[in-house]
Structure 1
Amino acid sequence: MKQTYDESSFRVLKGLEPVRERPGMYTRTDSPAHIVQEVIDNAADEALAGNAKHIHVALHRDGSVTITDDGRGIPVGLHAEEKVPVVVLAFTRLHAGGKFNKREGNTAYAFSGGLHGVGVAVTNALSTRVEVEVRREGKVHAVTFSEGGEKVSALEVTGSCGRQSGTRVRVWPDPKYFDSPKVPQAELERLLRSKAVLLPGVKVLLDIEQADGSMLSKTWTYPQGLAGYLAELAGEQLPVAPVYASEKYAGGDDESFAEGEGAAWAFAWFAEALPSESYVNLIPTVAGGTHESGLRAGVFEAVRTFIEHHALLPRGVKLQQDDVCGRMVFVLSARILDPQFQGQVKEKLNSREAVKLVSGMVRDPFEIWLNQHVEAGKAIAEMSIRQALARQKNAQKVEKKKQSGVAVLPGKLTDCESTDLLENELFLVEGDSAGGSAKMARNKETQAILPLRGKVQNSWEIEAGRLFANAEIHDIAVALGIDPHDAAAEPDLSGLRYGKLVIMSDADVDGAHIQTLLLTLFYRHFPALIRRGHIYIAQPPLYRIDVPAQGKKRPAKRLYALDDGELEAIRDRLAKEGFAPDKIEVGRFKGLGEMNPEQLRETAMDPATRRVLPVAERLGEEAHAETLKLFNLLMGKGEASGRRAWMEAKGHLAEADI
């Protein structure tokens, strides 16, 4: 039956329908843990703001969960514009909340877990029933949501509460949206324990209903804070130096960061690797992010300065960040005014300014501590130097395999100093202008630059023996240190000089063409590099957004947008934060050559803040055959008619850059 495509084909998802239609875009679907965490995070935000002293969670036998706090209680009055009770808006409307517009006096929270504004609305959408009780202004208010938020009872006053205040939410997760309908108890306990660690003076309780109806209760308090928690994580392992725990936050006169931004931390070094933990505004960031990069940078600079001051480094040894931080175990709790996370689940922090914030807060206090505890500092230094010596010894073994028959490196290659394959990166940069900026922006220890003049020759139908007739391809192959090979072979990659090869071209049609030509070269003549995950594509931004300062708490900042869609998303977010559109300056980069070294480093080269895409081949013989067929169609010289037909059929899918 032929399907029609007309006005009736369009469907508009309203209210919470988008969440129920695509739950995986908004939360984890392995279990209801994250939708419960959203409610717990709201209670923790109240405690972080200093308005709650107790967080109580109860797991019931019917699979429901109750979360209670003694905070201010969600507002129950009518919203000025929507004419709907605010508590109902919070649970039924996406992108609505009390954590936008973080200007002084214009928000309920100075610091919170994010700005998406979809938290408890997602909880409601994926639950069969949600009951909310609010104690506020002497009255107890109750409202019930059912059928995924489709049905909402009237908001009623059910009693009086005197001077008590707070919120109680009971959630019945809908099993059809999750692989397992039960909240994982171990994961929930880890979350609640971490809240107790990160919220001094706040008591966190968990009640688990047993088969006979009784309650098994657990309570968490950590009088020693992060240091005590780190000792618990370490178990029986003893650190090589005492645990260092401290905190530092920006004051009202700080020119770079808003008042209250900063971090608390505890870290130590152990003989064996142990897991670390990090948080942003109490939200666990299990995938790390820029705040962890900032911590490592600050610690590395402090230890390196200590080593230089005490002349501990042997001649010929160069210290790298992994040498110092490889055996460091930490618990980090950062406070950031406007955190930006990777995805709604908030597992990784993306805020670029967090690197500078955390490193700046950690470095000076830790350097002072090292010089006050010299023996501890020397123990950390000795472990770091041993790691550096082991790394250099391993690199020398690799170098011996490469000595015979090494070609002369290209003259335009700006090589890196390190010989560690795991650390080294080669950037293939479009144009001499961008190549010059990249040379100034690079980390000369681990990053090499090879500028490319013009477009690389289409090598799809060139025989391997004639490849080196092209100067650009010759230089790339010699810089890599390996020979061309076919897909069926298992080539010798012992001569490979760089662990990562990053293609860095302009964000335009010519840049995309250069990427295609280089990927053609690697897929046809160096397929092992793709197969083993050595190839990456840099994602330089198309737009720069300059955001003005908003009082002392909101210093000026610079953001970057990858494309038009991301630019609009940033504009929408800034509008919700109270920035007037005419005060925001947007500039478009015409190419990499227009970026100064600092901008290029931040957006495309610094591992802590850049965006790069790994290149991987689809697995399986059928997928390999499809890829070969497409390359033949697009890059084969005798396929002009086929390409024309393909473009006529697929041309409407392309977005023209006019």
Structure 2
Amino acid sequence: MAQTQYDESSFRVLKGLEPVRERPGMYTRTDSPCHIIQEVIDNAADEALAGFARSIQVRVARDGAITVADDGRGIPVGPHPVEKKPVVVLAYTVLHAGGKFDKKSGNSAYAFSGGLHGVGVAVTTALSTRVEVEIRREGKLHRIAFTDGGRQIGELEELGSCGRQTGTRVTVWPDGRYFDSPRVPMNELERLLRSKAVLLPGVQVSLEIEQADGGFKRQEWRYQDGLPGYLREMMAGIEMLVPVFATEKYAGEDEDFAPGEGAAWALGWFDGQQIGESYVNLIPTVAGGTHEAGMRAAVFEAVKSFIEHHSLLPKGVKLQQEDVCGRMSFVLSARLLDPQFQGQVKEKLNSREAVKLVSTMLQHPFEAWINQNVEHGKAIAELAIKQAQSRLKDAQKVEKKKSSGVAVLPGKLADCESSHITENELYLVEGDSAGGSAKLARNRETQAILPLRGKVQNAWEIDPGRLFANTEIHDISVAIGVDPHVADAADAVLANLRYGKIVIMADADVDGSHIQTLLLTLFLRHFPKLVAAGHVYVALPPLYRIDVPAQGKKRPARRFYALDDAELQSIRERLSKESFREDQLEIGRFKGLGEMQPAQLKETTMDPATRRVLPVSLGNTPSPDTLGLFNLLMGKGEASSRRAWMELKGNLVEADL
């Protein structure tokens, strides 16, 4: 084996925009340049959202260049007070630079904008062969260009007077080396621009595409009617069962949220395929997120209350959220002061506070609407009840198959009420104390709790015929409805599976990690089809709780949770930038799951909208390397090999002892 040199010269420091060009997939989509163009469009949309732009124009040239122009304030061109470079240069060439950060201090250029990941339009520069920026500001026309992923071409030029015109025009030539296709899909670009027009009522959005003869095909969107008109247009040709309900609500000075935070929405029930679109500060969240969870929770609670008030629910029928929202189409636009997204492309909102924000803003107006329009409320209730009855009939068919078995469910199992396998979840919880908290925190409809006493037996070398001699393993097998089997067993071994997800939930300490390992050993060795089919998950409960005091009326008290010391330090640094002193923060360490209040356990570990769980996956069959490592670590006859391995690898462990 060739020797690899490892010394001071082995280290390389990536500067400027090099990190983006080295690993573009970490910062943007690489199937097409659509996202790097969206970053430019989002900047124009932020100007419109702030009330300074009334027009957004996009032009696509035959050579692949795309121009985005707005009539906003224009990017500042003067030198930055600290960096001493023109601000426009910083915006297009420096990661983590922009006018959207200082929201707490009041120095931000935008109260609401599309996220704070901090890379923004600099990614566009990094992954383009050329970027040209023209700025009309304070009566002067300025121009600057960048090439080769961020190299500035000359100095910022002043080209002359522009009168009273203001705005920014950006032309981008995407670099095809970084994308599967160098062309932006026109249908996706049209959909993006149309959505901006919908979310910015009165703002004119246009798209011009150069044709083969040199002319331009032009499309234009302007929605004075906003979200409800857009929803009706999307659902054209599909029978409307309940009229569209649309309004908006934003927080005032004396509410629990920052002034201006809130949402606008349009909801409708239709007979056909349902459509849902959501946005946060005009950014499309195609994968949904916590704002959608808040919307569905509010609609469900309002309809459930209406049904109970009018005594509409038949005996023996229990409603679930999907019964109410399954036939609902919607357009949701949320505004958050400090949105947190999953990944740089911002396809999913992760902000936990968005659940409460959207739910609070939507529930009371929707309750008022269905109570003022009783016929609409009863129509929605009838749809939900029919769906619930259909679901229960399907569950009864499954239940008949189960009744032929002789196994009796464990007495300590707190089972869920739903029989929908795909929705049901079984939490394997460490200890009776944590099990008690989990039972109070769970959703009784879909979440079951099985407390485990102590540590499960190491099952790596146990003969399958002797597994049920262990009470805990017996109870786990009977609860999930699957018998022990081998890796090449037929898929039919999962025919009686009772839960779509089996979630291992143990304390965030060494003992908890040991229990996780023992349970994973059990599933890998004796229930491999469960793992291969993606039914096994590991919950990530927090180790720390951080309470942050209120900052006047605009910023209420907040609470954060950290998985480990590294995440705790990251939160501390973030709060330090918000001008919080260390002595203002109250940091608590959880001794275990049983110490957590049910509400805390629900928010951090059990609520699908805000929890953190990891899927366990090994493919169809475990690899020989995986099986070998498990045998080394869990085999009783491997003590000497295990000791040698620990002496060799022990310095790599990061344990909280």
TM-score by length of 1: 0.97
* Match runs of 1:69-218 below 5 Å: 69-103=70-104, 105-218=106-219
Q: Deviations over 1:157-178 (max 9, x none)?
A: 1111222211111111111111
Find the counterpart in structure 2 of residue 316 from structure 1.
316
Q: CA deviation at 1:581?
A: 4.5
Find the counterpart in structure 1 of residue 483 from structure 2.
483
| Stretch deviating more after TM superposition (467-476 or 180-189) | 467-476
Is the contact made by 1:104 and 1:553 (CA closer than 8 Å) also made in structure 2?
no
Q: CA deviation at 1:153?
A: 2.5
* Match runs of 1:19-30 below 5 Å: 19-30=20-31
SS at match of 2:403: coil
Name the amino acid aligned to 1:72.
R
Taking the aligned partners of 1:412 and 1:192, their CA distance within structure 2 comes to 55
Name the amino acid aligned to 2:146.
F
Q: CA deviation at 1:552?
A: 2.0
Find the counterpart in structure 2 of residue 376 from structure 1.
376
SS at match of 1:240: strand
Q: CA deviation at 1:497?
A: 2.4
Is the contact made by 1:268 and 1:328 (CA closer than 8 Å) also made in structure 2?
yes
* Match runs of 1:181-330 below 5 Å: 181-254=182-255, 256-330=256-330
* Match runs of 1:170-569 below 5 Å: 170-254=171-255, 256-490=256-490, 491-569=492-570
Is the contact made by 2:317 and 2:389 (CA closer than 8 Å) also made in structure 1?
yes
Q: Deviations over 1:24-56 (max 9, x none)?
A: 100001111000100100110111111111111
Taking the aligned partners of 1:570 and 1:116, their CA distance within structure 2 comes to 15
Name the amino acid aligned to 1:536.
Y
Is the contact made by 2:228 and 2:266 (CA closer than 8 Å) also made in structure 1?
yes
Taking the aligned partners of 1:551 and 1:139, their CA distance within structure 2 comes to 40
| Stretch deviating more after TM superposition (96-105 or 261-270) | 96-105
Q: CA deviation at 1:582?
A: 4.3
Q: Describe the shift of the 1:138–1:578 C-alpha distance in structure 2 as closer, same or farther (beyond 3 A).
A: farther
SS at match of 1:269: strand
| Stretch deviating more after TM superposition (45-54 or 609-618) | 609-618
Q: CA deviation at 1:412?
A: 2.1
Name the amino acid aligned to 1:515.
Q
Taking the aligned partners of 1:50 and 1:585, their CA distance within structure 2 comes to 39
Name the amino acid aligned to 1:156.
E
Is the contact made by 2:239 and 2:272 (CA closer than 8 Å) also made in structure 1?
no
Is the contact made by 1:464 and 1:484 (CA closer than 8 Å) also made in structure 2?
yes
Matched, 1:638 2:648: no
RMSD after superposition? 1.6
Is the contact made by 2:73 and 2:137 (CA closer than 8 Å) also made in structure 1?
yes
Percent identity of paired positions between Structure 1 and Structure 2: 73
Q: CA deviation at 1:404?
A: 2.5
Q: Describe the shift of the 1:262–1:30 C-alpha distance in structure 2 as closer, same or farther (beyond 3 A).
A: same
Is the contact made by 1:31 and 1:180 (CA closer than 8 Å) also made in structure 2?
yes
| Stretch deviating more after TM superposition (550-559 or 311-320) | 550-559
SS at match of 1:218: strand
Taking the aligned partners of 2:171 and 2:577, their CA distance within structure 1 comes to 30
Taking the aligned partners of 1:559 and 1:568, their CA distance within structure 2 comes to 12
Taking the aligned partners of 2:575 and 2:88, their CA distance within structure 1 comes to 24
Q: Deviations over 1:591-633 (max 9, x none)?
A: 222321111100100011111111122246xx53332222222
Q: CA deviation at 1:645?
A: 3.0
Is the contact made by 2:251 and 2:259 (CA closer than 8 Å) also made in structure 1?
yes
| Stretch deviating more after TM superposition (262-271 or 476-485) | 476-485
Find the counterpart in structure 1 of residue 627 from structure 2.
628
Is the contact made by 2:58 and 2:69 (CA closer than 8 Å) also made in structure 1?
yes
SS at match of 1:536: strand
Q: CA deviation at 1:577?
A: 4.0
Taking the aligned partners of 1:521 and 1:279, their CA distance within structure 2 comes to 43
Matched, 1:50 2:51: yes
Q: CA deviation at 1:20?
A: 0.8
Taking the aligned partners of 1:110 and 1:493, their CA distance within structure 2 comes to 52
Taking the aligned partners of 2:339 and 2:12, their CA distance within structure 1 comes to 33
Q: Describe the shift of the 1:100–1:583 C-alpha distance in structure 2 as closer, same or farther (beyond 3 A).
A: farther
| Stretch deviating more after TM superposition (487-496 or 120-129) | 487-496
Is the contact made by 1:135 and 1:166 (CA closer than 8 Å) also made in structure 2?
yes
Is the contact made by 1:426 and 1:500 (CA closer than 8 Å) also made in structure 2?
yes
Taking the aligned partners of 1:404 and 1:272, their CA distance within structure 2 comes to 38
SS at match of 1:155: strand
Q: Deviations over 1:56-114 (max 9, x none)?
A: 11111111111111111111111111111111111111111111121363211111101
SS at match of 1:154: strand
Is the contact made by 2:537 and 2:616 (CA closer than 8 Å) also made in structure 1?
yes
Taking the aligned partners of 1:52 and 1:589, their CA distance within structure 2 comes to 49
Is the contact made by 1:435 and 1:450 (CA closer than 8 Å) also made in structure 2?
yes
Name the amino acid aligned to 2:261.
E
SS at match of 1:265: strand
| Stretch deviating more after TM superposition (355-364 or 369-378) | 369-378
Name the amino acid aligned to 2:71.
D
Taking the aligned partners of 2:275 and 2:462, their CA distance within structure 1 comes to 49
SS at match of 2:434: helix
Q: Deviations over 1:431-454 (max 9, x none)?
A: 222222111111122211111121
SS at match of 1:119: coil
Name the amino acid aligned to 1:456.
V
Q: Describe the shift of the 1:172–1:576 C-alpha distance in structure 2 as closer, same or farther (beyond 3 A).
A: farther
Taking the aligned partners of 2:198 and 2:516, their CA distance within structure 1 comes to 48
| Stretch deviating more after TM superposition (352-361 or 399-408) | 399-408
Is the contact made by 2:201 and 2:225 (CA closer than 8 Å) also made in structure 1?
no
Q: CA deviation at 1:190?
A: 0.4
Find the counterpart in structure 1 of residue 653 from structure 2.
654
Q: Deviations over 1:367-402 (max 9, x none)?
A: 111112222221211111111011111111111111
Name the amino acid aligned to 1:127.
S
Please list every run of 5 or more consecutive structure 2 residues that lacks an aligned counterpart in the other structure: none
Find the counterpart in structure 2 of residue 604 from structure 1.
605
Is the contact made by 2:323 and 2:385 (CA closer than 8 Å) also made in structure 1?
yes
Q: Describe the shift of the 1:585–1:77 C-alpha distance in structure 2 as closer, same or farther (beyond 3 A).
A: farther
Q: CA deviation at 1:644?
A: 2.6
Taking the aligned partners of 1:40 and 1:568, their CA distance within structure 2 comes to 35
Q: Describe the shift of the 1:402–1:336 C-alpha distance in structure 2 as closer, same or farther (beyond 3 A).
A: same
TM-score by length of 2: 0.97
Taking the aligned partners of 2:575 and 2:138, their CA distance within structure 1 comes to 33
Is the contact made by 1:114 and 1:338 (CA closer than 8 Å) also made in structure 2?
yes
SS at match of 1:362: helix
Taking the aligned partners of 1:164 and 1:132, their CA distance within structure 2 comes to 16
Is the contact made by 2:56 and 2:71 (CA closer than 8 Å) also made in structure 1?
yes
Q: Deviations over 1:283-325 (max 9, x none)?
A: 0000000000001000001111111111111111000001111
Is the contact made by 1:103 and 1:553 (CA closer than 8 Å) also made in structure 2?
no
Q: Describe the shift of the 1:10–1:614 C-alpha distance in structure 2 as closer, same or farther (beyond 3 A).
A: same
Is the contact made by 1:317 and 1:388 (CA closer than 8 Å) also made in structure 2?
yes
SS at match of 2:141: strand
- Counting matched residue pairs gives 655
Is the contact made by 1:421 and 1:498 (CA closer than 8 Å) also made in structure 2?
yes
Name the amino acid aligned to 1:353.
E
Is the contact made by 1:101 and 1:107 (CA closer than 8 Å) also made in structure 2?
yes
Name the amino acid aligned to 1:646.
W
SS at match of 2:637: coil
| Stretch deviating more after TM superposition (477-486 or 71-80) | 477-486
SS at match of 1:331: strand
Please list every run of 5 or more consecutive structure 1 residues that lacks an aligned counterpart in the other structure: none
